[in-house]
């Protein structure tokens, strides 16, 4: 990899025919430092958001020492590149083999669960010669609402309220440290989501009458996208900490969170080439089976900027949709994506805020998927981390969507 100043410099130097992923390690490091310094607890990076080894190392160097892993593959990955990191296996449903290998081979001691069946599995898998493990940190995941989030995570996992008390009591009997965890959904747009979830935590603790050592508020911390401008993250942290302080828990209890998107969304953008224009439809060389999965399948709108030397001064802005390079009609990103109305074949477009999930979801369907990766030195298209003047929402916006001179 070599460093360029920005996307336009890449266009001028390479005129690439394939998509290029543009990395901004400085943006990921800034996000990590923000969580390390301002969240009054431990921040576990949710590896699923972007498992790039380079990103893992960037976050580690910026102070992130705990990692939320969801599979044996992620356990092995993080252990390989960050052997001193603390790994927390926070997927509530795991194979017994995965639990055993994580515990015995990779020093994983922290596991989540949402059922008696999973608890029994963990106890069996971590035993040695018939002797039960005595060093387990077990977090019972409870079900909470995702009504304040853009993507729900309330259907698949989480113990039902009627089962939580018994599960907490049973888990307390085998755990060295007992935790309660939850997930309010992805891209939670208000701190209220966490306040309401913490009330469920309170009710569970009171009903079970157990000593709780860890409260893990999960992920859901938002980033900035067109039409989705959340309040400042400090407000989330304040609400979470105030609720934590009011819980009936051990004086030495720890507060955890699991940011994924919030730590890596600003880390990467994508440079694509326009291959054809048909009305207000642009055919580009990446799409639904590449980095733009979310744009295609859940209608996520990403910021875009036309990257060419000629100016578009006086040109009206217009709404466009994208088609990706495969032969599939589903390779369609409805947008709308706002660009100058004179965009044409041969132009280049930068699609921002793709550090979260964009790189992780890429496939090689239809023979596409090859990308080069370059480091750039400019700022992401938008940020929640305070390097530009704040607008009324606390969001720090950056570059416009017009073409660059």
Contact 182, 144 (CB under 8 A): yes
**291 in the same domain as 229:** no
The answer to whether residue 404 sits within a structural domain is no
Question: How far is residue 380 from each of residues 15, 30, 135, 355, measured CA to CA in Å?
Answer: 21, 12, 42, 10
Q: Could you tell me the CATH number of the domain that includes residue 15?
A: 2.40.37.10
Give tens-digit pLDDT for 205-258: 999 999 999 999 999 999 999 988 999 999 999 999 999 999 999 889 999 999
Contact 339, 254 (CB under 8 A): no
**39 in the same domain as 17:** no
**67 in the same domain as 17:** no
End-of-domain residue from the set 233, 264, 295: 264
DSSP per-residue letters across 177-204: EEEEE----EEE-STHHHHHHHHHHHHH
Residues 6 or more apart in contact with residue 168 via CB below 8 angstroms = 140, 178, 180, 204, 205, 208, 210, 212
Contact 232, 390 (CB under 8 A): yes
**293 in the same domain as 255:** no
| Total-model pTM | 0.91
End-of-domain residue from the set 242, 264, 286: 264
The answer to whether residue 200 sits within a structural domain is yes
The answer to whether residue 403 sits within a structural domain is no
Q: Could you tell me the CATH number of the domain that includes residue 41?
A: 3.20.20.10
pLDDT value at residue 83: 96
The answer to whether residue 331 sits within a structural domain is yes
pLDDT value at residue 401: 44
What are the two backbone dihedrals, phi and then psi, of residue 319, each rounded to the nearest 5 degrees?
Answer: -95, 130
- Tokens read off for 159: 């113990």
Residue bearing tokens 């080439």: 273
Residues 6 or more apart in contact with residue 142 via CB below 8 angstroms = 114, 158, 159, 161, 164, 180, 181, 182, 200, 201, 204
pLDDT value at residue 387: 52
**219 in the same domain as 302:** no
**294 in the same domain as 260:** no
Between 25-38 and 53-61, two packed helices, what is the crossing angle to 10 degrees? 40
**245 in the same domain as 170:** yes
The answer to whether residue 405 sits within a structural domain is no
The answer to whether residue 239 sits within a structural domain is yes
**129 in the same domain as 258:** yes
**305 in the same domain as 220:** no
**190 in the same domain as 287:** no
Range of the domain at 361: 3-22+267-397
The answer to whether residue 402 sits within a structural domain is no
CA distance 251 to 335: 49
**81 in the same domain as 206:** yes
End-of-domain residue from the set 229, 264, 299: 264
User: Mind listing the pLDDT tens digit of every residue in the chain (405 residues)?
Assistant: 457 899 999 999 999 999 999 999 999 999 999 999 999 999 999 999 999 999 999 999 999 999 999 999 999 999 999 999 999 999 999 999 999 999 999 999 999 999 999 999 999 999 998 899 999 999 999 999 888 878 777 778 889 888 999 999 999 999 999 999 999 989 999 999 999 999 999 999 999 999 999 999 999 999 999 988 999 999 999 999 999 999 999 889 999 999 999 999 999 999 999 999 999 999 999 888 888 999 888 888 999 999 988 766 668 999 999 998 888 888 899 989 999 999 999 999 999 999 999 878 887 777 677 788 999 999 999 999 975 433 333 344 445 444 432
**324 in the same domain as 195:** no
pLDDT value at residue 313: 65
- Tokens read off for 9: 């410099």
Contact 331, 283 (CB under 8 A): no
CA distance 160 to 141: 9
Q: Provide the b/e sequence for 88-123 (b: ≥16 CB within 10 Å).
A: bbbbbebeeebbbbbbeebebbbbbbbbeebbebbb
Domain count within the chain: 2
The answer to whether residue 103 sits within a structural domain is yes
pLDDT value at residue 71: 96
């Amino acid at each position: 990899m070599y460093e360029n100043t920005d996307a336009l410099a890449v266009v001028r130097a390479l005129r690439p025919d394939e998509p290029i992923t543009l990395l901004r390690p400085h943006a990921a490091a800034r996000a990590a430092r923000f969580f390390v310094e301002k969240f009054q607890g431990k921040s576990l990076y949710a590896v699923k958001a972007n498992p790039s080894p380079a990103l893992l190392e960037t976050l580690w160097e910026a102070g992130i020492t705990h990692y939320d892993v969801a599979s044996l593959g992620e356990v092995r990955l993080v252990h390989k590149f960050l052997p001193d990191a603390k790994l927390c296996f926070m997927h509530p449903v795991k194979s017994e083999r995965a639990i055993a290998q994580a515990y015995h081979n990779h020093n994983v001691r922290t596991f989540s669960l949402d059922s008696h069946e999973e608890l029994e599995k963990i106890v069996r898998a971590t035993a040695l010669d018939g002797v039960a493990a005595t060093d387990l940190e077990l977090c019972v995941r409870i079900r909470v609402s995702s009504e304040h989030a853009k993507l729900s995570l309330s259907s698949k996992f989480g113990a039902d309220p009627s089962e939580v008390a018994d599960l907490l009591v049973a888990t307390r009997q085998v755990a060295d440290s007992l935790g309660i965890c939850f997930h309010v959904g992805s891209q939670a747009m208000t701190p209220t989501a966490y306040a309401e979830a913490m009330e469920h935590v309170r009710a569970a603790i009171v009903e079970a009458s157990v000593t709780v050592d860890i409260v893990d508020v999960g992920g859901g911390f938002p980033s900035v996208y067109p039409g989705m401008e959340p309040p400042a993250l400090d407000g989330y942290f304040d609400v979470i900490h105030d609720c934590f302080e009011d819980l009936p828990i051990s004086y030495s209890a720890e507060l955890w969170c699991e940011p994924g998107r919030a730590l890596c969304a600003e880390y990467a953008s994508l440079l694509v080439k326009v291959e054809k224009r048909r009305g207000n439809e642009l055919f580009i060389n990446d799409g639904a089976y590449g980095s733009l999965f979310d744009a295609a399948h859940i209608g996520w709108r990403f910021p875009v900027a036309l990257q060419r030397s000629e100016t578009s001064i006086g040109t009206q802005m217009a709404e466009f949709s994208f088609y990706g390079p495969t032969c599939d009609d589903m390779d369609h990103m409805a947008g709308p994506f706002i660009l100058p109305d004179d965009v044409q074949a041969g132009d280049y477009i930068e699609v921002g805020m793709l550090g979260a999930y964009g790189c992780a979801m890429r496939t090689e369907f239809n023979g596409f998927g090859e990308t080069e990766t370059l480091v750039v030195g400019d700022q992401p298209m938008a940020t929640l981390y305070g390097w530009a003047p704040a607008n009324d929402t606390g969001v720090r916006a950056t570059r416009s969507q017009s073409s660059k001179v």
